[in-house]
Amino acid sequence: MTKPSKTKYVLSVLATSALMVTAIETIRPQQVLAKAMEAEGMKMPAAFALASGDIDGVRKMAEEFVCGEKRIDLRNRIINAVDYIVDPVDNQVALLDEVRTKAMENDKVIQSACESYSALGDDFLSMMEKRHLVVTTALQVMDNVQPSIKAFYTSLSPEQVARLKDVAPPAIAKRL
């Protein structure tokens, strides 16, 4: 072996040993995976964070998603996908535009809630206030957008609904 390859080998043995010790100490393989991914500088997917019992990590990922640009990007992609799949007729275009408008109004509500959420602490009462804020914001957002979504959905023909069901995940398709 050349000198660089010997160094890599020794480092890999040390890293493997450290992981084995961690695994033996914790007896939680999900946490070992999380630590290994963290050591490699990789971001752990939310499912792994949840499986590892890292509730704070999951909460942080959810906060980043809801309060960040990813939520807006996902919302836009979903509405654009519905637009493409359904291929709305003239009156449906106006109804889908109303859904877009209401969704954008909700962005202001969510952003305001995010600012209030981040201002709260981590003590027990603050956590209860955070949960209350999340639930009331979710209800407010749903109450705002639901009538426009319902109006758009009821305007769809059976063929358009069938196209949506064909591409929707099974859990969602059965509710359409």
pLDDT > 70: percent of the chain: 67
pLDDT at 30 over 60: no
Do 7 and 94 fall within a single domain?
Answer: no
- HSE toward the beta carbon, residue 124, CA cutoff 13 A: 0
Rounded to whole angstroms, the Cα distance separating 70 from 10 reads 41
SS3 content of the chain, % helix, strand, coil (to 5): 85, 0, 15
Do 49 and 72 fall within a single domain?
Answer: no
Domain that holds residue 94: 68-173
Rounded to whole angstroms, the Cα distance separating 2 from 16 reads 21
The answer to whether residue 150 sits within a structural domain is yes
**Which contacts qualify for 136-141: CB closer than 8 Å, 24 or more apart?**
137/109, 137/110, 137/113, 140/109, 141/106, 141/109, 141/110
pLDDT at 23: 45
Q: Taking a C-beta distance cutoff of 8 angstroms, is the pair 113, 133 a contact?
A: yes
For 162, the 3-state DSSP assignment is helix
Do 80 and 128 fall within a single domain?
Answer: yes
pLDDT at 36: 55
Rounded to whole angstroms, the Cα distance separating 40 from 53 reads 20
Which tops the pLDDT comparison, 40 or 24?
40
Average pLDDT over residues 171-176: 76
Which tops the pLDDT comparison, 109 or 43?
109
pLDDT at 159 over 80: yes
pLDDT at 53: 61
Do 49 and 85 fall within a single domain?
Answer: no
Give the model confidence (pLDDT) of 51-110 as tens digits.
Answer: 556 666 667 777 777 788 888 888 888 888 888 888 899 899 999 999 999 988 988 888
pLDDT at 135 over 50: yes
Do 82 and 169 fall within a single domain?
Answer: yes
Taking the model in full, what pTM does it have? 0.63
